[in-house]
């Protein structure tokens, strides 16, 4: 096999739209005899109505509880029995369902996915809803309430976004809203958002392109178009006063969460913001790691990252204090580093390393058929441009030190900032 040329990666993407509006994208890759079936619906937590937070995610759970031709607990069994793996996930802007299967089982994946889109309602029962509501409430307990610092992100969302903003609540939702969800809600949500014309189907792997389109049409083609799913756009938040708050948790060490509004996926500056994240915290030579963890020794860890959202972007700098270090000290350390970046104090070499690290993660993002189909479906859903996946390499590689400074000056500023301290219960945050 020839050595690939200097990081240039290109995928041949073929796209067609079925008569019912379902967009189908196929990418052939015969490296390994596996295929990924990925369905992304353009509905997420931002589409939830007041009093029903967490509903999109609860609904995602119900999609695994059987449909007209797929017995109640058979969905997982069929996929695992075929040697496949599967899951689903819910985000602010979308919900996705995906399987990676041996390539001779492509039709199994299409049968399962089309049945729960076309023949879902007859299988839903109050008992299933009650059971999965309990499961999701336990998910909330396990992954948020009973996990150190687990409520920080939802607190930040509440502070950083104004009342009524679509990104103001977490995808897991709140207990009382989960309790309020009814079968009527389930049916209404399904009819509104789970329609072929509100979805994209991506097939990646060991399959022939034409065969992929033919099979997609065979299983999905007869499902009727929906009534038109109302889309929600989360509006950008105007710059204002910095927002600050402290909460208490069952933890020993203070942690600083510094949130900034940021560019959304695909918007100008998104790649620069991504590279800035690598420059700040990925690798031991990164700015914040070197300053806070290595030199000053005030932090146990630090991460900086931007989240890929459709509308307005979110970015987080998170650092945990070492024993005896106050949250204020840590915050001052982060601000000192941000001031250096604002002053334009970064080198070509430092940017080059950050770009290289970002490219490495990018290659990793698209190396398996499962994560590649996710990237393609996301680009198709958020940007209407699946080919964005092919532009990513060039976009990241062309990030300059000036672009990194510019994105920091535009976004990582007090007017865009929400700072949250998570402090040990019963203490003042000053440590010992």
Enumerate residues 328-367 that contact other proteins by CB under 8 A. 349, 352-357, 359-361, 363-364, 366-367
The one among 27, 90, 100, 390 contacting other proteins by CB under 8 A: 100
CA nearest 408: which of 399, 395, 420? 399
Touching other proteins, residues 365-404 (CB under 8 A): 366-369
The yes or no reply on residue 5 touching other proteins (CB under 8 A) is yes
Q: Which of residues 183-242 bind other proteins (CB under 8 A)?
A: 206, 213-214, 217-219, 221-222
Residues in contact with other proteins, counted by CB under 8 A, come to a total of 98
d(CA 155, CA 135) in angstroms, rounded, equals: 23
Q: Which of these ranges, 82-90, 153-161, 311-319, 408-416, lies near other proteins under the rule CB under 8 A?
A: 82-90
23 binds other proteins (CB under 8 A): no
Backbone angles phi and psi of 56, in degrees to 5? -60, -40
41, 199 Cβ separation under 8 angstroms: yes
Residues 267-286 that bind other proteins (CB under 8 A): 282-286
User: DSSP characters for 202-229?
Assistant: EEEESS-HHHHHHHHHHHHTTSPP-S-P
Pick from 250, 345, 398, 400 the residue near other proteins by CB under 8 A: 250
Judged on CB neighbours under 10 Å (0-12, 13-18, 19+), 171 is buried
- Name the one range near other proteins by CB under 8 A: 30-38, 305-313, 337-345, 400-408: 30-38
If the CB atoms of residues 5 and 163 are measured against other proteins, the closer one turns out to be 5
Edge-to-edge strands, sheet with 255-262 = 243-249, 417-424, 255-262, 313-321, 299-307
Q: Under rule CB under 8 A, which residues in 144-163 are in contact with other proteins?
A: 145-148
Q: Least distance (Å) from other proteins to the CB of residue 423? A: 13
> Which CB, 26 or 264, lies closer to other proteins?
26
CA distances from 386 to 43, 341, 397 (A): 18, 33, 19
Instruction: Kindly state the smallest distance separating residue 312's Cβ from other proteins, in Å.
Output: 30
Of residues 104 through 143, those in contact with other proteins by CB under 8 A are 104-108, 110-111, 115, 119, 130-139, 141-143
* DSSP string for residues in 91-108: -SS-EEEEEEEEGGGHHH
Q: How many whole angstroms separate alpha carbon 388 and alpha carbon 293?
A: 36
68 binds other proteins (CB under 8 A): yes
């Amino acid at each position: 096999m020839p050595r690939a040329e200097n990081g240039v990666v290109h995928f041949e993407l073929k796209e067609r739209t079925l008569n019912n509006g379902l967009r189908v994208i196929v990418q052939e890759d015969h490296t390994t005899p596996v295929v990924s079936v990925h369905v992304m619906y353009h509905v997420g937590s931002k589409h939830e109505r007041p009093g029903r937070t967490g509903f999109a995610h609860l609904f995602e759970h119900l999609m695994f509880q059987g449909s007209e031709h797929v017995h109640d607990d058979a969905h997982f069994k069929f996929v695992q029995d075929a040697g496949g793996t599967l899951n689903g996930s819910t985000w602010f802007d979308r919900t996705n369902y995906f399987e990676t299967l041996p390539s001779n089982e492509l039709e199994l994946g299409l049968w399962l996915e089309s049945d729960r889109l076309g023949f879902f309602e007859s299988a839903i029962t109050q008992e299933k809803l009650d059971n999965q509501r309990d499961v999701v409430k336990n998910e909330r307990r396990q992954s948020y309430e009973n996990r150190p610092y687990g409520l920080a992100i939802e607190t930040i969302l509440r502070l950083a976004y104004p009342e009524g903003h679509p990104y103001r609540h977490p995808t897991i939702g709140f207990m009382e809203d989960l309790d309020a969800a009814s079968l009527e809600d389930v049916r209404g949500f399904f009819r509104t958002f789970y329609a072929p014309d509100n979805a994209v189907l991506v097939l990646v792997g060991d399959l022939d392109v034409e065969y992929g389109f033919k099979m997609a049409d065979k299983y999905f083609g007869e499902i009727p178009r929906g009534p038109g799913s109302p889309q929600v756009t989360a509006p950008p938040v105007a710059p204002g006063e910095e927002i600050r708050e402290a909460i208490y948790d069952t933890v020993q060490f203070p942690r600083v969460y510094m949130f900034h509004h940021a560019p959304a996926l695909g918007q100008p500056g998104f790649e620069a913001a991504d590279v800035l994240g690598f420059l700040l915290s990925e690798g031991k030579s990164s700015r914040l790691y070197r300053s806070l963890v290595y030199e000053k020794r005030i932090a146990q860890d630090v991460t900086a990252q931007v989240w890929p959202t459709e509308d307005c972007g979110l970015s987080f700098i998170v650092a945990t204090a070492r024993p005896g270090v106050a949250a204020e000290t840590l915050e001052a350390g982060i601000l000192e580093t941000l001031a250096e970046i604002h002053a334009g104090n970064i080198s070509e070499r430092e940017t080059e390393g950050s770009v290289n690290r970002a490219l490495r993660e990018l290659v990793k993002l698209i190396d398996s058929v499962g994560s590649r189909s996710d990237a393609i479906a996301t680009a198709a859903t958020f940007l209407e441009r699946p080919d964005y996946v092919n532009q990513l390499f060039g976009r990241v590689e062309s990030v300059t030190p000036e672009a990194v400074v510019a994105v920091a000056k535009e976004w990582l500023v007090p007017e865009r900032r929400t700072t949250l301290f998570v402090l040990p219960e019963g203490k003042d945050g000053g440590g010992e």
